[in-house]
Amino acid sequence: MVQITDSIELPCGATLPNRLAKSAMSENMTQPKFFPGEEFIHAYNAWLKGQTGLLISGNVMVDSRFLGEPNNVVIEKGLDNFLHLKNWAKTAENFENHIWIQLNHPGKQTPKFLTPEPVAPSSIPLKAPLDKMFNTPRELTSSEILEIINRFSYAAKIVKESGFHGVQIHGAHGYLVSQFLSPLHNQRTDEWGGNLEKRMKFVVEIYKGIRKEVGEKFPIGIKLNSADFQKGGFTQEESILVAKTLSDLGIDLIELSGGSYESPVMTGVLQKESTLKREAYFLEFAKDIKNAISCPLMVTGGFRTKKFIEESLEKNEVDIIGLGRALCIDPNFSKKILENQDITSEVKPLSTGFKMLDKIFPLEIIWYTMQIHLLGKKKNPQPRASVYKAIWNSIKEIGFEGLKRVRS
């Protein structure tokens, strides 16, 4: 019977010290631009001390022309931030925990105030009202697609050379990899679009390119949508086939998530009440995908109690438990679980009390980002802080118009 404290060996031979992981959450705190500074070291030091076995970074972009948020870390040729990356990686040198870097390209999900001309598999805008916040993308050429694949490979090479333990491809939440997989967003008629085999070619080539650069012993994972949760989009059946393909190719870890900017189920706000009470948002689908793959499966979203985490592992529904918001308000949450404390996370739905304001401001993002920024300043999180404080902090940082366009 699997225990939370059990280590787990990945297909590449690397070993994670326990069954708890920090899922990627965008830190959005680079200083200077594109460079991870002292704030990253302080925040990750807090999580390392909290004994979460695997720490996955917020999305690190592979192209500085296309950002998801103003203060994303970027890895690309010509950008001299190797020393900053190395200092960030060194944070873990006295710990058993792993730090993996999540690599991403936003595709069309880059707001107007950051990118005048976004790119995507096809020139299809996001649906209203997001079309007012994001410009209609330009369709990528075949040569541009190959260049992006090379960017992922190069970034992974730098990640390894910097001293990090692994990489994760962001293939979920409506970003570029997810856009290629979705028939709603990928309506190409060439080798990169059409049936599922062609739509998944982009992510397959990214994986192969990274593996060629980092070798067989370096962990590579992917965050994959269980579905788009949109009519005519990427389905659960297709997700299983993509997961099986990547597992057969040798990927080391698949993290299950779901949704996009257009259908943000990953935040929990669109989940059915019965699912929310059951805690984990995507666990219902995990069994089907777990039966199809040979690599470990990680599920993130909604885990709040030690009891439920234990039950999910004991039932073999999942191999690794992904934690997000719980670690923002308590970086020692994992440590308390590993020490057998009967603990429940203080994570709860956020609201201003006014429906209109709740629609305008992405509270589930900016409030928890504020908590990460406190960790970055070597301060304690403020689990009872007002949502209005988070709104005010964000307005000061990126302005009112920018704030309305921030997404996770």
List pLDDT tens digits, range 113-136.
Answer: 899 999 999 999 988 777 778 999
| CA pair distance 288, 292, nearest whole angstrom | 7
Report whether 181 contacts 242 (CB < 8 A): yes
Would the pLDDT of 267 be above 80? no
pTM assigned to the model: 0.92
Residue 372 CB burial class (10 angstroms; 0-12, 13-18, ≥19): buried
| CA pair distance 179, 176, nearest whole angstrom | 5
Q: Which residues contact 94 (CB under 8 A, 6 or more apart)?
A: none
Query: Tell me, what amino acid is at 406?
Result: V
Q: Can the peptide bond before residue 362 be classed as cis, meaning omega within 30 degrees of 0? A: no
At residue 405, the pLDDT reads: 44
Q: Which residues contact 288 (CB under 8 A, 6 or more apart)?
A: 236, 240
Residue 3 CB burial class (10 angstroms; 0-12, 13-18, ≥19): exposed
Query: Tell me, what amino acid is at 211?
Result: R
Residue with token string 């059951």:
278
Residue 272 CB burial class (10 angstroms; 0-12, 13-18, ≥19): exposed
At residue 393, the pLDDT reads: 83
Q: Which residues pair with 341 in a beta bridge?
A: none
Question: Which runs of consecutive H residues, i.e. helices, occur in 51-194?
Answer: 82-90, 142-162, 176-181
Would the pLDDT of 160 be above 90? yes
Q: Mean pLDDT across the stretch 342-350?
A: 89
Report whether 340 contacts 5 (CB < 8 A): no
Report whether 256 contacts 240 (CB < 8 A): no
| Largest distance between two CA atoms of the chain | 55
Residue with token string 């201003």:
352
Would the pLDDT of 269 be above 70? no
Would the pLDDT of 166 be above 80? yes
What is the Cα 1 distance to its own chain's centre? 29
Question: Which runs of consecutive H residues, i.e. helices, occur in 12-102?
Answer: 38-49, 82-90
| CA pair distance 270, 227, nearest whole angstrom | 14
C-alpha pair distances (Å), 69 with each of 58, 120, 182, 265: 11, 17, 23, 20
Q: In the chain, what percentage of residues exceed pLDDT 90?
A: 74
Would the pLDDT of 45 be above 80? yes
Confidence of residue 259 (pLDDT cuts 50, 70, 90): low
Phi, psi (rounded to 5 degrees) for 72: -75, 145
Confidence of residue 65 (pLDDT cuts 50, 70, 90): very high
Residue 204 CB burial class (10 angstroms; 0-12, 13-18, ≥19): middle
C-alpha pair distances (Å), 130 with each of 77, 111, 155, 364, 394: 32, 9, 30, 17, 20
What is the Cα 387 distance to its own chain's centre? 23
Confidence of residue 285 (pLDDT cuts 50, 70, 90): confident
Report whether 113 contacts 135 (CB < 8 A): no
| CA pair distance 176, 304, nearest whole angstrom | 30
Looking at per-residue pLDDT, the higher value among 230 and 375 belongs to: 375
Report whether 328 contacts 381 (CB < 8 A): yes
- Closest C-alpha among 400, 329, 399, 322 to residue 369: 329
Would the pLDDT of 33 be above 70? yes
Q: What angle do CA 384, 271, 327 make, to 5 degrees?
A: 35
CATH architecture designation of domain 8-349 = Alpha-Beta Barrel (3.20)
Residues in the chain: 408
Confidence of residue 280 (pLDDT cuts 50, 70, 90): low
Q: Mean pLDDT across the stretch 96-108?
A: 97
Q: Mean pLDDT across the stretch 134-158?
A: 97
Q: What is the pLDDT of residues 377-390, one digit of tens each?
A: 999 999 999 999 99
Report whether 210 contacts 168 (CB < 8 A): no
Looking at per-residue pLDDT, the higher value among 14 and 404 belongs to: 14
